[in-house]
Amino acid sequence: MFSVLMAVLQGLPGEGFPSEDGARWSYQEGDEEALVLELSGVQEIRGIRTHRLRVRGYAAFLGERRALYLVQDRDGLREAAYAGSVSPDTLQSGSRTFLKFPLAEGQTWTSPHTPFAATVLKREFVSTAAGGFQAWKVGYVTKDCYGERADILAWFASEVGFVKVEETVKSKRRVLELASFLKHRPRSVAAPDLTPKELQDVGGLLRTLESESVDARVSAAEELRRMGRGVIPVLERSSKSARDAEVRSRLQDILLSFRPIECVARLKKPRIKVGERLPVQFRIHNVSSQTVQVLPSLDKSDIGSRYPKYLMEIVDDSGERQDLKLQRCGSTNALSAVDFIELRPGEDLDPFGIGTFRHYLFGWKPTRPGTYHVRLVYDVGTPRKPPPPESLEVERLLAELDRLLEQLGNRGELESSDPEIGKLLEATPRGRFLSNRVRFEVEE
């Protein structure tokens, strides 16, 4: 459903279409999010400067695309290349022209080397979940590699992009409409500022770390931890400039204790009925002052056969684990650069959201009333230096996780020989991140 992809149009740099990396379009089908597009960097392909559009979700015209590489000039917008889902790191040549500038009623064009034709129909007002827009209505006719025809209507609004799309394939009609559009990425949320008194206290504690007294050094380190995330920028600067190896090591230990991301469980509603689906959602939050990379749920992440591993635990009040029987094929897709999602400070994501592999336990339905508890472990491999355990209960759960993963077949550490993936892994917080536990009631 290519037309939705064109929503980026208005966001691409060029005549009248200013934007920044991180511009994001979310489309819904009915009440559910169905497609997310995001501009994520510039890449030179065959000497041409292109803008990478990440695609999460499925649209008929786009097919199994994971990313599109777009070029915009005074003549219009066209596709220079795309990344498929089977080999997302191997770019394929693209030749579709999505828009011809300037748009005018009755205007038509076709694309070379591919069955793709467009006609500008008229300009009209259109309503969407994101609001009302004056937009150009454009009709597209295309065929996929199997010769299957798709008829598409798309409404393009100045300064926003394509705000509504209707596609018909084999007499089945699908409507996607803009739910939200961020032209600029939200401003980063930095660590809280320290007061002048707190800065003075931090300075004194840093000097105490050089004390000859072991007890004084340990006490100073603990006090710095208790002061919270506001000390992180000061400790990062001090760690880089520290000449004493022991002081530098202690500072790094303190920084490691402030875990950069958090896994959070939330209830959508506190009560459900027997036979209804799990009322829980999860978020991965970047609570650090640095930009990080996060991996959402990939194929077989939910059964622990590959990193990242997502282990969901559902238990009733008696402690009995709830589960589902399932069958999976033996293969997994290779880790790709487009699997990673960048989170700036303060941002978060749904690891089971659109374009990911949803956890099989979201298909679980309670068969009897009672109280149930749910939590999640996000496992991204061994950290460079393990942080101290949060509690004995966490140690017990992680030991249980180790036994489970051993039974399921642990595929070893998260690693890659690809330089681009290696760079992304360097920015990926490693370790196991345990969510809070949420409780819900099941009624007859």
Q: Are residues 234 and 270 in the same domain?
A: no
| Helix/strand/coil percent split, the chain, to 5 | 20, 40, 40
**Boundary-marking domain end, from 182, 206, 239:** 182
Residues 314 and 212 in one domain: no
Same domain, 352 and 436: yes
Is the same domain home to 125 and 68?
yes
Which structure tokens are listed for 69? 């590489």
Clarify whether residues 85 and 110 are in a common domain. Answer: yes
205, 236, 257 - which closes a domain? 257
Whether residue 306 sits in one domain with residue 245: no
Angle formed at CA 97 by CA 93 and CA 98, multiple of 5 degrees: 120
Q: Is residue 187 part of a domain?
A: no
In a shared domain, residues 25 and 125: yes
Count of domains forming the chain: 3
Q: Does residue 305 lie in a domain region?
A: yes
Q: Alpha-carbon torsion 316, 320, 325, 327, what sign?
A: positive
Task: Say if residue 301 is in the same domain as residue 239.
Answer: no
User: What is the torsion angle, in degrees rounded to the nearest 10, for the CA atoms of residue 249, residue 251, residue 252 and residue 256?
Assistant: 140
- Specify the pairing of strand 149-157 against strand 131-143: antiparallel
Does one domain contain both 280 and 144?
Answer: no
Domain that holds residue 105: 2-182
Tokens of 29: 């089908």
Tens of pLDDT along the chain (444 residues) come to 444 454 444 444 433 343 567 788 999 999 888 898 888 877 888 788 888 888 888 776 676 678 888 887 778 888 888 876 555 556 777 778 888 888 999 999 988 777 889 999 999 999 999 999 999 999 999 887 677 888 999 998 887 888 999 999 888 999 999 999 988 766 655 556 788 888 999 999 999 998 989 899 999 999 998 888 788 888 888 988 888 888 888 898 888 788 889 999 999 999 999 999 999 999 999 988 788 999 999 999 998 888 999 999 999 999 999 998 877 666 788 888 888 998 888 888 899 988 889 999 999 999 999 999 999 999 998 654 444 544 455 555 655 655 555 444 444 457 777 888 889 999 999 888 999 999 999 999
Task: Give the end of a domain, one of 132, 149, 182.
Answer: 182
Is residue 377 a contact partner of residue 399, using CB atoms and an 8 Å limit?
no
